[in-house]
């Protein structure tokens, strides 16, 4: 299973905004990296979607769960990288 995204905004090394091309509703994500000092940075991951009026609560919850799963996957990969596993 995969997700197809289109990059809609790019500031190399700092920020990328993507639009999902496979979601059932318009949705986007943004990844921002902000340098804090020479040895650290802040990474911010955002997700948002335009859910049509009248959508069943179960569909909305499924979208929230998908976003949460992506965040958990990213957190896991970052922890592996920090431990030297990647």
pLDDT per residue as tens digits for the range 43-77 = 999 999 999 899 999 999 998 998 899 899 989 98
> How confident is the model at residue 49, as a pLDDT?
92
DSSP 64: H
Separation between Cα atoms, residue 30 and residue 15, nearest integer Å: 7
Judged against a pLDDT cut of 70, whether residue 86 lies above it is answered with no
Average pLDDT of every residue of the chain: 90
> How confident is the model at residue 32, as a pLDDT?
96
Burial degree of 51 (CB within 10 A; 0-12, 13-18, 19+): middle
Say what the pTM is. 0.76
Judged against a pLDDT cut of 70, whether residue 9 lies above it is answered with yes
Separation between Cα atoms, residue 52 and residue 43, nearest integer Å: 30
């Amino acid at each position: 299973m995969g997700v197809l995204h289109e990059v809609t905004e790019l500031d190399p090394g700092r920020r990328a905004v993507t639009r999902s091309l496979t979601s059932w509703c318009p949705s986007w994500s943004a990844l921002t990296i902000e340098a804090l000092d020479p040895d650290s940075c802040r990474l911010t991951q955002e997700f948002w979607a335009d859910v049509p009026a009248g959508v069943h609560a179960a569909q909305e919850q499924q979208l929230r769960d998908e976003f949460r799963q992506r965040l958990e996957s990213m957190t896991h990969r970052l922890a592996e990288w920090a431990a030297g596993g990647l």
